Amino acid sequence: MNPLYDRYINSLTVYHCDNKYRLGNKNDGGYVIMETDNYDFLLSGGVGGDISFEKNFTEKYNVNCVCFDGTENSGFELTKNLPLITYVNKNVGIRNTPKTSNFDFALNKYKNVFLKLDIEGSEFNLFHSLSTNQMKNIKQLVVEFHFPDGHKKWQALQKITQTHYLIHYHANNNNNVIYNINYQSIPAVFECTYVRKDLLDNPGLNKEPFPTKLDHRNTYTKLDFVIDCPPWVHK
């Protein structure tokens, strides 16, 4: 066994949270999050032709949203009649350029941001680039992680756990790749929900198997991954 990889695996330890619910579509585009309020802003990376989560969130919490996607133009049509949502045809990156945003316009200004990311692997570099103060300005985040196949990517996952608790996990069943890390099987694409640590007071470990009743298959024609062991589930 490799102690380094044990630490990587433990970055996926899930903590107990009672008040979770689902926003967005039933399949891709929907996420399980913790019920809390007093958000300043919704920051979204990745549109993919679906802003059901952004639409539901802005309606529920009455906050402004800026969503980014430089790979397509669907956001222009999807947001044209939604005054709380602004679409920017840029990708997410570690610098501000004509083609990328590093989100500092929001993370340096607001103290209670909700961050949603589905950016096809760019999430790892983004988290490495964020300062501790910027991370602490993220009240809650949902992220789809793609192919954590190297030390630097797992270190990004570890970094998030310094400021946030992982409270929900769902493997994306649209991808069949499985990694074996220290004899542990890890789906290559998975969705995580985190909350800032000040929102939960010494939470216990999660005891509920995944998927839960709140989850839906990303692809309905395939079976979901069933996860019922540490570090996700503790009996």
Question: Where is pLDDT greater, at 173 or 115?
Answer: 115
Q: Where does the pLDDT of residue 113 fall: very low under 50, low under 70, confident under 90, or very high at 90 and above?
A: very high
- Digit-coded pLDDT (tens) for 131-170: 999 999 999 999 999 999 889 999 999 999 999 999 999 9
If you average pLDDT over residues 199-219, what whole number do you get?
95
Express as a percent the part of the chain with pLDDT over 90.
81
Is the pLDDT confidence value at 183 over 80?
no
Position 98 scores a pLDDT of 95
Is the pLDDT confidence value at 6 over 90?
no
DSSP annotation string for the chain: --HHHHHHHHTT--B--S-EEEES-SSTT-EEEE------EEEEE--TT--HHHHHHHHHH---EEEE-SS-SHHHHHHTT-TTEEEE--EE-SS--SSEE-SHHHHTT-SSEEEEE--TTTHHHHHHHS-HHHHHTEEEEEEEEE---SHHHHHHHHHHTTTEEEEEEEE-TT---EEEETTEEEESEEEEEEEEGGGSSS--B--S-BS-TT---SSTTSPPPPB-STTT---
Position 39 scores a pLDDT of 98
Position 194 scores a pLDDT of 98
- Digit-coded pLDDT (tens) for 71-97: 988 899 999 999 999 999 999 999 999
Position 140 scores a pLDDT of 98
